[in-house]
Structure formats: C-alpha cells, structure tokens
Amino acid sequence: MQDFYNSDAMITAAYVIAAVLFILSLRGLSSQETARRGNLYGIIGMAIAIGATLANNPDAAITTTLANNPDAAVAHAAAAATRGGFHALLFGAIFVGAVVGSIMAARVAMTGMPELVALLHSFVGLAAVLVGYSLDLKTQHSLAHRIEIYIDVWIGAITTTGSVLAFLKLRGSVSGKPLLLPARHFLNLAMLAGSLVCAFYYAKTNNQIALEIGTAIACVLGVHLVAAIGGADMPVVVSMLNSYSGWTASAAGFMLGNDLLIIVGALVGSSGAILSYIMCKAMNRSIWNVIFGGFGAAPPKSAGGPAQPQGEVQEIVANELADQLKEAKSVVIVPGYGMAVGRAQHAVRELTEVLRKRGTTVRFAIHPVAGRLPGHMNVLLAEANVPYDIVLEMDEINDDLPATDIVMVIGANDIVNPAAEDDPSSPIAGMPVLQVWKSKLVIVNKRGRAAGYAGIDNPLFYKPNTKMLFGDAKDAVEKVVAALKS
C-alpha cells in the first residue's frame, strides 16, 4: 500500500508550497512593516520542506515488499536495529545544529553581524561540499551526474574557504589589506584550468582523487579571491559570498534532481548578485574590478598620484561642539564603521533625543556602503531605537546638506571624501559620496589621524568649515551629550 505521505505527489506539493513561501519571505522584506511576516514565511517554508523530506520515507516501500518475503524480513529486522542508531544520529545532528545556531544568533552583538553572516555563508558551502561527497561515496554515477557533483563541490568549496577568510578579515584576525600576489590573475587562471582538468578527469574516470584535488584547488581559489579584496570592499565580498552560497544550493539541486533546492538557490543567488551590484554601483566600480582588482590596481598612477591635501586640521572639544549644537536648527549625522567599532550607536541615539527635544531637526544620512555589510548602519541604528523615518539614504539627503547647519560624521571617512568628486587621480574618484562639506559646519569624529580603510587621505579634514572631534566615538559623543544636558 502506497500511502499519501510517502507518495511523490505529497513531496512535490510540499516543495511547491515551500518555494512559494520562500518567495513571499523575500517579498516581505520590501518594507519594514511586512518584514517580520516575511521572516515568518521563511521559517514556515523551511519547516514544511524539512518535515516533508523526513516524513517521506522511502523505506516504507521496502518494508511492504519484505513483508511478503520471510527470509528477507529477518535480514531487514537486523538492519532495522542499525537504523535506530542512524535515526538517533540524524535527529541528534538536527538538534545540535539548531541549538548551536540559536546560541550563535542570540549571542551575536549587532556590531558583529557581518562576521556572523560571513560565517554562516561558509556553513552553506561546507554542507554543499559534504552532500556532494556523500553522493559520490554512495554509488556509481552517470557522466552528467558526475559533472553536477563536481560543480556542486567546487562552488561549495570556494564559498566555504572564501567565507571563512572574509569572517577572519571582518573579525580583524587577518589584516584587511588586500593581498596582491604578483601574478594573481595568472594564478587564478591556472587554478581555473587545473579545476577544469580535474573535472574532466573525474567525469571521465570517476576517480575520487580527481574530485579531491579539484576541491583542494577550489579551497585555495576561494582564499585567494577574497584575500585580494581590500577591507573597504567587504560589503561587496559578503554579498558576493551570499550569492555564491545560493548558486551552491542550486548546484546541489541539479546534482540531486531536486527542484526546491534549485529554486531556493537561484533566489538566494540572484539576491546576492543584486546586492553586489548595488554595492559596486555605490562605489562606482565595476564588479570585475572588485573581484579581481584589489585597491590600487585600477587607478592610473599618472600625475604623481593623488594630490596631497594642504592645510591644518582644526580641533573642537565636546563643550564647544555642544554650544554649536544648541544654536543649530538642523543636524545631520553620518555614521560609519567607526560608530560600529566604538559601539557608539546608543550614545548617538541619546544625542539625537536630546537635540530633538530641544527642537532641532536631526536626521541620519546613510551611504550605501557605510559599514561592512549592506544596510549595516540601519541595523545598528534600529538596535539603538532610532526611528527609521529620520534615517535617510544618500540620494534623499544630499540635496539638503547645503542647508544643514551641522553635519556630524561619526567614524566615517571614505564615504564623505570630497576627493571622489574633485580629484580624478584619487583611487575613489567617481564614487558617489555624501557632500557633507557643503553644509555650514562639519564635525568629524575620528579616533586618530589615520587614513580611511581605502588608505587615502581625506581633504575634508582640512576644509575651513571642518572641525575634528578626536577620540573614541562613544566617549566623544557621550561627552557632547553631557555638555548639552548641563
């Protein structure tokens, strides 16, 4: 008897429902109001997919056959004992995974979000590699199947090692500086060629060693690709790895002949691709330049490099700034990675509240690549309870900056660098930036006098209407708040 739970119809229906729920989940994210519902759709979709896969028990069919065959039934009973252990192991794995994941999610600080996201990407890649190997170990495969296994494992391996390196870079365990080997393009090409040779060999002979060598090459390639990308491009890297993890899932779908995996992988893959595109556009760089370039490769080294800014920086202390803020009618705050590092978002929120109570208009200007993740600043400000209707994007606020009394730049550098507009030889020339220097007064909070992540000096600091508020973001802002309150 073929009952419904074990039928193909049931599993197909469940997968279709899950796929639709995943699409609705992404759709829900189009606005803050529906986003939570979107997340819920995703959870339900996942539960249905896993539940259906678990409920659909191919062994049931075997059991029915065995019932008519006493000899085989004895053998089967023996196997059933091992299967008990197997089930315990499988559910144990799911349980442990869920617990570990939950703990990670609950523990992570909002400032550590980029690291977590990068690490999770590596898990998807790793799972895909393992599924590929598991399939390879199981049976002999046809040619087409072997190609699919190879592709799955290869992309999965790149995603895994690339994400791990991105994680380490974001955590600061590895320097953010791009590693530019002399012949890196050649190296990439060589590794690609090597991978193709292994693919060919594996497909032809089903030789597992070829698959293993291919995996190893992909691992190195993943590391090398991410190593060549500078810290300032991290948002692009993370979104690219997001895309890769999607394509990995899709490849696994092809390998297993599973449409749900293909659909979800394609959704995630295109999502990551779009994010990468948006980030690249925000920095006015081509995606190829980011993937293969690393900073310093693209700009022409003519005319003796970027012009050195002239002049002295002017300092301001918290008390003076507080006096200025009391006079100001409109204030715009430009947060950057420095605010995340200094965990200053709560202090900034307090500053906003104090100013708003005084009747000052306070708004936030968010550059698309501020921080180390797309939307990173929005998440931090939301955590600190800054209302999202005063948090504006670059395009919305740039026209208002000339009429703004004070712009406070907190831990941002490259995204407010006028050289992007004025100096064609600057490495960030052409990148759209927040035109803070057009406002009446610019306050730049910086820990010290070092250059930004892109490693270039910022002429903004030397402008006559710029004052520097040196010090740790949190301390500095808290001092200003205290001075405002007194």
Task: Give the catalytic positions in this structure.
Answer: 414
| Bridge partner residues of 331 (DSSP) | 362, 406
Specify the residue, 337 or 461, whose C-beta has the smaller distance to other proteins: 337
Q: How far is the CB of 391 from other proteins (least distance, A)?
A: 7
Q: How far is the CB of 56 from other proteins (least distance, A)?
A: 8
Hey, what are 27's tokens?
Answer: 């759709």
Restricting to residues 240-269, which ones interact with other proteins according to CB under 8 A?
Answer: 242, 245-246, 248-250, 252-269
Specify the residue, 130 or 451, whose C-beta has the smaller distance to other proteins: 130
**Binds other proteins (CB under 8 A): choice among 349, 376, 446, 463:** 376
Specify the residue, 123 or 470, whose C-beta has the smaller distance to other proteins: 123
DSSP letter for each residue of 37-92: HHHHHHHHHHHHHHHHHHH--HHHHHHHHHHT-HHHHHHHHHHHHHHHHHHHHHHH
Q: Report how far residue 315's alpha carbon sits from residue 66's, in angstroms, rounded to the nearest whole number.
A: 85
Restricting to residues 144-173, which ones interact with other proteins according to CB under 8 A?
Answer: 144-145
**Binds other proteins (CB under 8 A): choice among 227, 232, 236, 275:** 275
Q: Using the rule CB under 8 A, is 124 a contact of other proteins?
A: yes
Q: How far is the CB of 439 from other proteins (least distance, A)?
A: 13
- What distance lies between CA 246 and its chain's CA centroid? 12
Q: Using the rule CB under 8 A, is 42 a contact of other proteins?
A: yes
Specify the residue, 31 or 308, whose C-beta has the smaller distance to other proteins: 31
Q: Using the rule CB under 8 A, is 50 a contact of other proteins?
A: yes
Nearest-5° Cα angle at 19, 18 to 25: 90
Q: Using the rule CB under 8 A, is 204 a contact of other proteins?
A: no
Q: Using the rule CB under 8 A, is 58 a contact of other proteins?
A: yes
Specify the residue, 42 or 306, whose C-beta has the smaller distance to other proteins: 42
In the numeric block, the tokens 């009747």 are attached to: 359
Q: Using the rule CB under 8 A, is 200 a contact of other proteins?
A: no
Compose the 14-33 pattern: x for residues touching other proteins by CB under 8 A, - for all others.
Answer: ----xx--xx-xxx-xxxx-
Taking alpha carbons only, the member of 393, 392, 416 closest to residue 336 is 416
**Binds other proteins (CB under 8 A): choice among 74, 79, 190, 451:** 79
Q: Could you tell me which stretch among 206-214, 222-230, 397-405, 440-448 binds other proteins (CB under 8 A)?
A: 397-405
Q: Is 406 helix (H, G, I), strand (E, B) or coil?
A: strand
Q: Could you tell me which stretch among 174-182, 226-234, 294-302, 368-376 binds other proteins (CB under 8 A)?
A: 368-376
Phi, psi of 315 (to 5 degrees): -100, 155
Phi, psi of 101 (to 5 degrees): -60, -45
Q: How far is the CB of 242 from other proteins (least distance, A)?
A: 5
CA torsion 166-167-168-172 (nearest 10°) is 100
Restricting to residues 429-448, which ones interact with other proteins according to CB under 8 A?
Answer: none
Query: Cα separations (Å) of 38 from 29, 225, 259, 288?
Result: 6, 33, 22, 32
Q: Report how far residue 8's alpha carbon sits from residue 4's, in angstroms, rounded to the nearest whole number.
A: 8
**Binds other proteins (CB under 8 A): choice among 17, 73, 110, 317:** 110
Q: Using the rule CB under 8 A, is 140 a contact of other proteins?
A: no
DSSP assignment letter at 467: E
Q: How far is the CB of 38 from other proteins (least distance, A)?
A: 7
Q: Using the rule CB under 8 A, is 55 a contact of other proteins?
A: no
- Max Cα-Cα span within the chain: 94
Side-chain-facing half-sphere of 119: CA atoms under 13 Å: 13
Specify the residue, 145 or 463, whose C-beta has the smaller distance to other proteins: 145
Specify the residue, 255 or 469, whose C-beta has the smaller distance to other proteins: 255
| Bridge partner residues of 58 (DSSP) | none
Restricting to residues 303-362, which ones interact with other proteins according to CB under 8 A?
Answer: 329-330, 359-361
Instruction: List the end-to-end C-alpha distance of the chain, in Å, as a whole number.
Output: 81
Q: Could you tell me which stretch among 165-173, 307-315, 334-342, 390-398 binds other proteins (CB under 8 A)?
A: 390-398
Q: Which amino acid does the sequence have at 256? A: L
Q: Using the rule CB under 8 A, is 392 a contact of other proteins?
A: yes
Specify the residue, 90 or 193, whose C-beta has the smaller distance to other proteins: 90
> Do 383 and 419 contact (CB within 8 A), yes or no?
no
